[in-house]
Structure 1
Amino acid sequence: MARRKKIYEGKAKTLYEGPEPGTLVQYFKDDATAFNAEKKDVIEGKGVLNNLLSEYFMTGLGQIGVPTHFLKRLNMREQLIRSCEIVPLEVIVRNFAAGSMSKRLGIDEGTQLPRPIVEFCYKDDALGDPLVSEEHIAAFGWASQQDMDDILSMTLRVNDFMSGVMLAVGIRLIDFKIEFGRVFEGDFQRLVVADEISPDSCRLWDIETGRKLDKDVFRRDLGSLTDAYSEVARRLGVMPNTPPKGGKPTLVN
């Protein structure tokens, strides 16, 4: 069998050509990076967990009418997705102050914000994904005004969904980032949630203890990243409550 053609490789995922036109295969790696890839490691099982959790969230969004690029999970590390033109923005929703917002504005981490705050960053690793305004986005043509209206509306729906899902299992959704892509259907296009939704792209704190269950565990050397992600997966019911011997994640179909 011929090896699939690699389309793109990022810090945490690799994209290959899909079996049908308009599809791609998204492979989740075990690589962990932080601080714009200044800190790196390989965490066994991380890719499996992110594949499983992203499937869970993308499927849930589809069920409430939020379109995504996700089609189906293929195996432990791969999922079939729709090919799309990525909007060059990271869209960040903050429900509580943490990370860079706390540093920029001098707000204590964990402070609840008056309302969800949506921020935009320009996707460019060489520049460190700088924070940009809607004025920048319009001026440089990264997205139209209609795109921005749709992105904001969909982003807040994702926040409502994610916050509710996490609250139900005792986890506080501090913040998260998502990306959007344009899917072309004949002469028309529509926006879909793309990339991934996983603990790599969220801040998740246990409501009772404040324990971090996201990539801050890796950023701040707070313990086992696999244990943290596995805890999220177990609470959501997509992994057994008792981890298998050897500590490797096991899927529940």
Structure 2
Amino acid sequence: MTENTVEFGGQQLTRGDLLYEGKAKQVFATNDPSIIWMHYMDQVTALNGKVKEEYSGKGELNSSISNLLFTYLSNQGLQHHWLGSISATDELVKKVDIIPLEVVTRNYTAGHFVSRFGVEPMQQLSPRVQELYYKSDELDDPFMNDSQAVSLHFASEADLKTVYGLADQVNELLVALFNKIDITLIDYKLEFGRLADGQIILADELSPDNMRLVDQKTGKSLDKDVFRQKQGDLRVGYQDVLQRLQDALK
């Protein structure tokens, strides 16, 4: 592999034009129209990108954790866009048409859920709560209900049923995995996309950037809340999560 080319699946793939740059990742085209090249940056943001800092090595941590979790889900039969890791910070994924909705699954009360409803934090939610948000940095990802999403043609009722069903499958699998390594999965965000044939699959990333993770023994945050709340170096928690996942999944 060179910086811009890689041998993958029996073909030579070349990184092409930058298609999108988000808060923590860059997305590039490749010479195969069905495959996207994703690069994790050493950047951390809060308040929808209004607060931004560089953390050396953070991209590698996120990429490694995400790769482990997608591999774990693959082994459980769940469909997603991840194809494989090609470097410490880069991976290949299936090209999907991202549905402009974020699904937040809440297993415990935290964050905006606490302030919105005036409830105590860290209370287990039974049944779990699923929330829908419109994916728009300019509008600060506003909350959206199902009928709004359907009326605005972001997704059909059948699409939403599929998305919620996949989110439930992911939740069951991830909660079990994190419990195994003494971490509580408080809440997290998922994104989904459509393949060329219309199939909806899990997309984006799975990392402490879009999860709340709490050590079951110490109560310490192991996610981006450390940065949001200025509690220290978030890489310490990310490295802890990575090590525990490596030990559990090796």
Q: Please report the TM-score for the alignment, with normalisation by the length of structure 1.
A: 0.91
Alpha carbons 1:44, 1:226 under 8 Å: kept: no
Alpha carbons 1:70, 1:80 under 8 Å: kept: yes
| Aligned residue in 2 for 1:191 | 200
1:37-52 residue pairs with structure 2 within 5 A? Answer: 37-52=49-64
Kindly indicate whether residue 28 of structure 2 is the aligned counterpart of residue 16 of structure 1: yes
**Which of 92, 108, 112 in structure 1 is aligned with 2:124?**
112
| Aligned residue in 1 for 2:172 | 160
Offset of residue 138 of structure 1: 1.1
Distance 2:114 2:219 in 1: 17
* Partner deviation per Cα, 1:67-109 (whole Å, 9 max, x = no partner): 1110000000000001110000010000000001001001111
| Aligned residue in 1 for 2:73 | 61
CA distance 1:178–1:3, shift in 2 (3 Å): closer
Aligned alpha-carbon RMSD (Å): 1.7
Aligned to 1:172, the other structure's residue is in SS state strand
1:56 alignment partner AA: L
2:97 alignment partner AA: E
Kindly indicate whether residue 37 of structure 2 is the aligned counterpart of residue 25 of structure 1: yes
| Aligned residue in 1 for 2:105 | 93
Aligned to 1:87, the other structure's residue is in SS state strand
Distance 2:105 2:51 in 1: 24
| Aligned residue in 1 for 2:9 | none
Distance 2:205 2:247 in 1: 17
1:77-88 residue pairs with structure 2 within 5 A? Answer: 77-88=89-100
Kindly indicate whether residue 176 of structure 2 is the aligned counterpart of residue 176 of structure 1: no
Kindly indicate whether residue 241 of structure 2 is the aligned counterpart of residue 235 of structure 1: no
1:6 alignment partner AA: L
**Which of 220, 223, 244 in structure 2 is aligned with 1:214?**
223
Distance 1:43 1:142 in 2: 35
Distance 1:238 1:206 in 2: 16
Distance 1:141 1:208 in 2: 45
* Partner deviation per Cα, 1:142-197 (whole Å, 9 max, x = no partner): 1111111110110000000110110000000000101000001xxx3101100101
2:67 alignment partner AA: E
Q: Please report the TM-score for the alignment, with normalisation by the length of structure 2.
A: 0.92
1:62 alignment partner AA: S
Alpha carbons 2:58, 2:235 under 8 Å: kept: yes
Sequence identity percentage: 35
Aligned to 2:63, the other structure's residue is in SS state helix
Alpha carbons 1:214, 1:225 under 8 Å: kept: yes
2:192 alignment partner AA: F
Distance 1:17 1:176 in 2: 28
| Aligned residue in 2 for 1:224 | 233
Distance 1:238 1:70 in 2: 21
Distance 1:86 1:150 in 2: 14
* Unaligned segments of structure 1, at least 5 residues: 240-251
1:177 alignment partner AA: K
1:235 alignment partner AA: R
Distance 1:57 1:138 in 2: 30
Distance 1:175 1:30 in 2: 23
Alpha carbons 1:32, 1:43 under 8 Å: kept: yes
Aligned to 1:132, the other structure's residue is in SS state coil
